[in-house]
């Protein structure tokens, strides 16, 4: 009887260790994809912002407004997000990888205007601040034993409210409401970072390492965290960024 109890305990410990190891590998893969995407976006944004011949393709130098191509590129990333989300189970891992890289590149091009509106020093400062906040909340979400499901639901409700208010403000053009939405955005995406990392940690514990579905889920997780970081960065930039 004693031997049987010891065997059961050891087997449970081994199983838990395997889940922890699988979760760590999965999270590492998620962040690898996310960092690659951020690097691609930053490179494309810098390239277009500092190359006049490329910049004129997306922004009309005489009016300062988007060209036809610039308008298409602004909305193109949303199409890629939809394609990745709805094609997760249908598309192969290589195709999803290409779509994710293309999404990061197009989004970088569409964000090239940031370096034209804000000073480089303030963009760099806000980027470092956003990275620090994101990193702290990611660690908190990964290490906490508190279930963040209810907290995440509140953040998602806040996000929905933000989207509705943003659409309304598109017609109102209220600077005050825009600032309020920026502060709300900081709170919402800070909270969502912790929630999403905890959710991905749990997903990783149930995925077999090297499995095709696991690789595709890593891309989906990277997309989620990428959007959390990007929106956190943009919200902080609207509050603290210094315009030229």
Q: Reply yes or no on whether the pLDDT at 6 is more than 60.
A: no
Quick one: which H or E segment has residue 205?
helix 175-205
Lowest-confidence pick of 97-101, 131-135, 178-182, 240-244? 240-244
174-186 average pLDDT score: 94
Question: Over the stretch 101-148, which tens digit does the pLDDT of each residue have?
Answer: 999 999 999 998 898 899 999 999 999 999 999 999 999 999 999 999
Geometric angle at alpha carbon 155, from 162 and 112, rounded to 5°: 55
Note the pLDDT of residue 7.
40
149-174 average pLDDT score: 93
Residue listed under structure tokens 């600077």: 175
162 dihedral zone (left: phi>0; alpha: psi -120 to 50; beta)? alpha
Q: Reply yes or no on whether the pLDDT at 3 is more than 80.
A: no
Q: Which residue has the higher pLDDT, 105 or 19?
A: 105
What is the DSSP code string of 31-66? HHHHHHHHHHHHHHHHHHHH-HHHHHHHB-TTT-SB
List the domain boundaries for the chain. 2-240
Does this model's pTM top 0.85? My answer is yes
Note the pLDDT of residue 217.
92
């Amino acid at each position: 009887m004693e031997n049987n109890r010891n065997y059961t305990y050891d087997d449970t410990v081994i199983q838990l260790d395997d889940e922890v190891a699988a979760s760590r590998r999965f999270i590492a893969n998620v962040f690898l994809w996310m960092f690659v995407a951020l690097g691609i976006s930053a490179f494309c944004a810098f390239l277009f912002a500092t190359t006049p011949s490329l910049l004129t393709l997306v922004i009309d130098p005489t009016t300062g407004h988007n060209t036809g191509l610039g308008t298409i590129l602004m909305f193109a990333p949303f199409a890629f997000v939809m394609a990745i989300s709805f094609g997760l189970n249908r598309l192969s891992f290589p195709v999803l990888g290409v779509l994710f890289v293309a999404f990061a590149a197009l989004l970088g091009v569409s964000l090239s205007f940031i370096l034209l509106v804000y000073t480089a020093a303030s963009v760099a400062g806000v980027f470092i601040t956003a990275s620090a906040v994101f990193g702290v909340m990611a660690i908190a979400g990964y290490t906490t034993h508190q279930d963040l499901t209810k907290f995440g639901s509140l953040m998602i409700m806040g996000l929905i409210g933000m989207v509705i208010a943003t659409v309304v403000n598109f017609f109102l053009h209220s600077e005050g409401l825009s600032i309020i939405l920026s502060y709300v955005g900081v709170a919402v995406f800070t909270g969502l970072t912790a929630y999403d990392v905890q959710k991905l940690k749990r997903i990783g514990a149930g995925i077999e390492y090297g499995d095709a579905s696991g690789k595709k889920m890593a891309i989906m997780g990277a997309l989620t965290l990428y959007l959390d970081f990007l929106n956190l960065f943009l919200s902080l930039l609207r509050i603290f960024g210094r315009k030229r």
